[in-house]
A = this chain, B = another copy of it.
């Protein structure tokens, strides 16, 4: 069982599941996208549901890792908090541009009642919750009270374009405005600058 084939399958399945969702996606389509025969697909994964679970896990893991790197990079060289948070927001927004993963997140949200609770838990733990924990940790270091909620607030204020459409990207003005609201809303003791 060659691991390159397995990776190709996972990547192809991510594409197709993200675009079409679980039920609309067909095994044949995934196999074609991955340039693999359906038989090898079934050699690597027990069935469609099993493949879906692995795709979710893999994608969540990669995205979380990328985002955590972004967090570390941006929070280790804070000079002007507001300006740096805006930069951070823009960088996270650019991540959103890497659309496949977030389309998959939309599919997961739609399928919530059809995915076993334990798979959801696993996804949350290795994905979004891990990211939020990392962000909350950085905010705590900066002196934010209630860092867990602050992390959520920062994310929704800077990553939400049109709240009706998940994953719609805010423009730079939206991000700047969101950061401002966030900073005025969460008072910090050791804020270094409050300028602009």
Query: Which A residues contact B (CB, under 8 angstroms)?
Result: 19-24, 103, 105-107, 109-114, 124, 127-129, 146, 149, 152-153, 155-157, 160, 162-167, 174, 177-178, 180-187
Contacts and interface: CB of A to CB of B under 8 A. Distances in A.
Copies of this chain, tallied across the complex: 2
B152 A109 contact: no
B185 A180 contact: yes
A157 B158 CA distance: 11
Nearest to A123: B164
Of listed A149, A152, A165, residue having the most chain B CB within 10 A: A152
A84 B23 CA distance: 44
Contacts of A163: 128, 152, 155-156
Contact of A177 (B105, B113, B146): B146
Nearest to A18: B113
Given A155-B163, A160-B152, A110 B113 contact: no
Contacts of A160: 152, 156
30 contacts: A21-B21, A21-B110, A24-B114, A103-B113, A105-B164, A106-B106, A106-B109, A106-B110, A109-B109, A109-B110, A109-B165, A109-B166, A124-B162, A124-B164, A124-B165, A128-B163, A129-B164, A146-B177, A149-B174, A149-B177, A152-B163, A153-B157, A153-B178, A153-B181, A155-B163, A156-B156, A166-B166, A181-B181, A181-B182, A183-B185
